[in-house]
Structure 1
Amino acid sequence: MPSLQDQLLKTGLADEKKAKAIRNEKHKKRKQQPKGAVEVNEAEINARQAREEKAERDRQLNLRRQKEAEKKAVLAQIRQLVETNRLDRSRGETSYQFVHDKKIKKVLVDDAMVDQLSRGRLAIVYVNDSYEIVAEGVARKIMERDENAVVVLHDRKKDDAGEDDPYAGYEIPDDLMW
């Protein structure tokens, strides 16, 4: 099949001299370009760059959505742990005071819970805009998921004096209130 240039020469729309000049010009252009270099269209470069930027934005958006989903899952796990392991405070008559968000809060508990809270065997957890009391082991599991959910958990090593307590032989009076 003859080229377009040959067809134009046959019909007389182009002359041989002009066709030769165009061929030489194309040949010179090809010789000036380094080997392996391909003419790159500027629009193609812009389109590729736009695709890469869109892909990066999509990746960032997906990461943000994934983090939010993980956060919701952790919150659901904490809620479930508290719901299944919270202790009943309905018989509470003693006020236990603690600090949360730079404010003094209080919950009503019974005397045994006050003792266990102060020794670190029980903990106060803030979930669903309310304070609940759970065992120390459950509180540690909650702390693994979210440190801020556990409001009060005393360290047992500091509070439990053990066998070499110099005051072990002395009883604390029943009517002593702090």
Structure 2
Amino acid sequence: MAGSLQDQLLKAGLANKQQANKAKAEKRKQTKQAKAVKKGEVFKDPEQLEREQAIAKAKEEKLQRDRELNRQREDELTRRSIDASCVQMLMQNSISMPHEGEVEYNFVDGTTIKKLYVNKTLQEQLAKGNLAIAASKGSYILIPAGVAEKISERRPELIISRQKVEEIDPDDPYADYQIPDDLMW
């Protein structure tokens, strides 16, 4: 009785050629997997690979969402700190206005013309551009031009009105004529 068990089963008629080939393929697959396990390689079925890829993709998407949320939080913190520093600069550098100002100073806030009642020296400083008008908690305050410049770099919407110091054109024929102080618009 020489030969393998498979040959003997085929001769006895207990198995056919197709079953023998199937058994050989199974045996080859098992030995290949056993060798791969020894080497550290593991053959995975396609479903398991798809699951692992889906899990890896979900982790990557979660990381992206977390990064975006962190960036938004940092932007919000930065915006809040800028707001706080601007409000602090406004409060520390505000110039007190007289309660009963004798001169009205007109300025534009958005699309409307507003009035502030100030004294003569404040009016001159506003006209020359040494002072600026800023919005603070629903009211208007006067601040120095240097502070207004710093605030407008960070939050330009807080500065309502600021006169620009105009350079005098040397070829201007009306340069010798001054605008009257009592001219109001």
The two structures have a TM-score, normalised by structure 2, of 0.69
Q: 1:53, 1:96 → 2: CA distance?
A: 57
1:24 is the counterpart of 2:28: yes
Q: Deviations over 1:35-87 (max 9, x none)?
A: x9964611111111111111111111111111111111111111111111111
Inter-CA distance 81–38: structure 2 relative to 1 (3 Å threshold): farther
Identity rate of aligned residues, in percent? 34
Q: 2:25, 2:184 → 1: CA distance?
A: 109
Inter-CA distance 146–116: structure 2 relative to 1 (3 Å threshold): same
1:105 is the counterpart of 2:109: no
Q: 1:134, 1:126 → 2: CA distance?
A: 10
Q: 2:23, 2:118 → 1: CA distance?
A: 102
The runs of 5 or more residues in structure 2 that have no matched partner are 1-19, 34-40
1:167 is the counterpart of 2:177: yes
The runs of 5 or more residues in structure 1 that have no matched partner are 1-16, 30-35
Three-state SS of the structure 1 residue aligned to 2:98 is coil
1:49 is the counterpart of 2:62: no
Q: 2:65, 2:162 → 1: CA distance?
A: 42
Could you tell me how far 1:133 is from its partner in structure 2?
0.5
For 1:82, the equivalent position in structure 2 comes to: 90
Give the partner amino acid of 1:44: E
Q: 2:92, 2:163 → 1: CA distance?
A: 22
Inter-CA distance 51–175: structure 2 relative to 1 (3 Å threshold): closer
1:85-96 aligned within 5 A: 85-91=93-99, 92-96=101-105
Q: 1:38, 1:134 → 2: CA distance?
A: 74
Three-state SS of the structure 2 residue aligned to 1:41 is helix
Which of 67, 72, 75 aligns to 1:64? It is 72
Could you tell me how far 1:129 is from its partner in structure 2?
2.1
For 2:138, the equivalent position in structure 1 comes to: 129
Three-state SS of the structure 2 residue aligned to 1:133 is strand
- Count of equivalent residues: 151
Could you tell me how far 1:98 is from its partner in structure 2?
1.4
Which of 104, 109, 115 aligns to 2:124? It is 115
Which of 73, 84, 89 aligns to 2:81? It is 73
Higher mean Cα deviation, 114-123 or 97-106?
Answer: 97-106
Three-state SS of the structure 2 residue aligned to 1:51 is helix
Three-state SS of the structure 1 residue aligned to 2:106 is strand
Larger radius of gyration: 2
Higher mean Cα deviation, 105-114 or 90-99?
Answer: 90-99
Inter-CA distance 177–148: structure 2 relative to 1 (3 Å threshold): closer
Inter-CA distance 161–134: structure 2 relative to 1 (3 Å threshold): farther
Inter-CA distance 78–175: structure 2 relative to 1 (3 Å threshold): closer
Could you tell me how far 1:112 is from its partner in structure 2?
1.4
Q: CA RMSD of the aligned region, Å?
A: 3.0
